[in-house]
Amino acid sequence: MASPSSSSGSSNPFAMGAVAINASTAQLISIKSHVPVVLDLVAANYGTWRTFFTNTLKKFGLLDHVDGSVDAQLQVFDPEWTQIDTCVISWIYATLSDDLLSAVIQPDDTAHSVWSAIATQFLDNVVQRTSQARQQLHASARAT
């Protein structure tokens, strides 16, 4: 969570440094109203899901929980940050297909580690699909 600070004395709540939502508010948010996509390995909807999710995190000032800019291990003694991180993890889990959830869920996950595991699942699949497509292309070129 962003630390409370004002941006050059500005009263603009959208200015850089604005405080993110608190844990009590985060727990009340229905993530499916903000991310209406269930991420699935076979649905090819990672880009759509990621866009919805990233925009939601930006909207609530919580992008730092997934982008790696804050080390969750250093926040372990900040109960507010930890509660919000746990809430973000729950949001992510709630928007995954059962198969994908089984593939990425780990004990002691942080929002960043789950986010990274999901990205890895899809980036690895892109590399694999690209390799398969190239093999098929070369095979069909040799056949002609």
Q: How far is CA 110 from the centre of its chain?
A: 11
Asked whether residue 17 is domain-assigned, the answer is no
Q: What SS3 class is residue 39?
A: strand
- Reported as a single tens digit per residue, the pLDDT across 119-134 is 998 887 555 555 555 6
Residue 97 structural domain: 23-143
CB-based contact 53:90 (threshold 8 Å): no
Number of domains in the chain: 1
Asked whether residue 8 is domain-assigned, the answer is no
Asked whether residue 13 is domain-assigned, the answer is no
Amino acid 20: pLDDT:
83
Asked whether residue 49 is domain-assigned, the answer is yes
Residue 103 clears pLDDT 80, i.e. is over it: yes
Confidence band (pLDDT; 50, 70, 90) for 4? very low
Amino acid 124: pLDDT:
73
Q: Closest Cα to residue 29, out of 80, 90, 72?
A: 90
Asked whether residue 5 is domain-assigned, the answer is no
What does the alpha-carbon distance between residue 55 and residue 136 come to, in Å, rounded to a whole number?
37
> Between 79-94 and 111-143, two packed helices, what is the crossing angle to 10 degrees?
30
DSSP label of 66: T
**Sequence-distant (≥ 6) Cβ neighbours of residue 73 within 8 angstroms:** none
Residue found by looking up tokens 């780990």 in the block: 106
pLDDT higher at 85 or 138: 85
What does the alpha-carbon distance between residue 70 and residue 47 come to, in Å, rounded to a whole number?
23
Asked whether residue 78 is domain-assigned, the answer is yes
Asked whether residue 6 is domain-assigned, the answer is no
Asked whether residue 102 is domain-assigned, the answer is yes
Residue 108 φ/ψ region, left for φ over 0, alpha for ψ in the -120 to 50 degree band, beta for the rest: left
Q: What are phi and psi of 119, to 5 degrees?
A: -60, -40
The answer to whether the pTM exceeds 0.85 is no
- Reported as a single tens digit per residue, the pLDDT across 40-97 is 988 889 999 999 999 999 999 999 999 999 999 999 899 999 999 999 999 999 999 9
